[in-house]
Structure 1
Amino acid sequence: MLQELVTAAVAVGAGGVAYLLAGARVIKQYERGVVFRLGRVVGDVRSPGFTTVVPAVDRLRKVNLQIVTMPIPAQEGITRDNVTVRVDAVVYFRVVDAAAAIVNVEDYRFAVSQMAQTSLRSIIGKSELDDLLSNREKLNEGLELMIDSPAIGWGVQIDRVEIKDVSLPESMKRSMARQAEADRERRARIINADAELQASKKLADAAKEMSDQPAALQLRLLQTITAVAAEKNSTLVLPFPVELLRFLEKAQQQPPPPPPVGP
């Protein structure tokens, strides 16, 4: 009789231990636990560490609180200035209220993904091409605000949204390349014209100075000959001063002196 009682006690003890082990749970440091008892949330959110639930009655749902990096698939749209583009982005978010993330929305990851795609298409339609290419910080802030507004009720906080890439049609890329090339050519022509204008002014000033001093023209001629001879060319081009031609022309126009009269 005593042996049967001991056996029964051991069996009851083993059953109790097994029952307690069946209700034992471990929550990791980056997780929080939400306990459902007969379909209702009971108690506060369970903290990391060891915890227990009632087997067959309670159900523990663990929620990851780490930052989630979710890429937003490329969305195609038409900008406000009627340019077709494809834009993809990435959103960083994390759960701040584990109970709300489980109770208020069926799948918070899928909900954030769909909201991000819808918001990205809306941003494309409200923006111009130049804003998408050069003013991304402002667009990122607007996109983050659009996603974060409904996500607050889901227990989710949007940390950051970044536009990764803006894809343009090939025809638009060629048009932009031609425009940039034309703009660079325009600036080059303006710079060359300005240089010609400054050089012409300096040459005019030099001509005025040389006209006052005829010897300066001869010195300049000698300098030019020296510069050309230093190049060691087989052909030497020698400038001929116009003043010398004018001197010879005047000498020919003068009448010859009268012959001397004899005694």
Structure 2
Amino acid sequence: MSSKIQSYATQLVEAEVSRVGIDPLTLTDPEITVDEAYYIQLENIKKKVNAGQKIVGKKIGLTSVAVQKMLGVDEPDYGHLLNSMVVENGGTIYCDTMIQPKVEGEIAFILKKDLKGPNVTALDVLQATDYVVPALEIVDSRIQDWKIKLADTVSDNASAGLYVLGGKTTKIEDINLELLGMVLLQNGEVANTGVGAAALGNPATCVAWLANRLADYDISLKAGEVILSGALSSMVDAKPGDNFTARFAHLGQVSVNFK
């Protein structure tokens, strides 16, 4: 492991602990590559696992054109989900435990079989999925003011923060993922809307992309893992006093509160 990767990994951990964002790595080091960024991510995940946390799934980011345009990137990324990131449906998040939280509505896949690339297809994903549930992802960036490029968010575990899963499970064969609609409510008012096709055309395509990208690092998706398949619309800033509810056609709803 290079000293550069270890140094950047340490800076990101310190930002997470202090809740003070750092300058973009791509500003400090314009030559940093996305591959190096994934190794920075993996270094910090390894440290957290060694400290007793558990990997419970993966998240795909930047699948929505709206989010890509907002952040100035042009391809998806991925991060790891840890058991420390789970918030119960209807639970409360304290804003002072985060830096600059934003909320997204997503479809979460729960796998019943392992998936390992390369050459994983959307059909393979459907066959490996036990069920899907509605989800809220609370993204957070350790990069100050969300001034990120692709290598910045990849290094930062794809800007992962926390996530919430709804309680209703739905079999994949009972829905049309591409046409599945969502409305994200903030304090009872519509913040935005989305549809499954907003995530690379089909959320299952996102999961296939993830399985194939992970193969570059000899990582597979495991049975039982939660896979957050990507935002169906743009991110919404969260502040104390906010309530967010995502309602999905056929999947039910999921909600969280901020204090």
Q: TM-score, structure 2 length as denominator?
A: 0.20
Asked which structure has the greater CA Rg, the reply is 1
Where relative contact order (Cα < 8 A, 6+ residues apart) is larger, the structure is: 2
Structure number with higher strand proportion:
2
Q: TM-score, structure 1 length as denominator?
A: 0.19
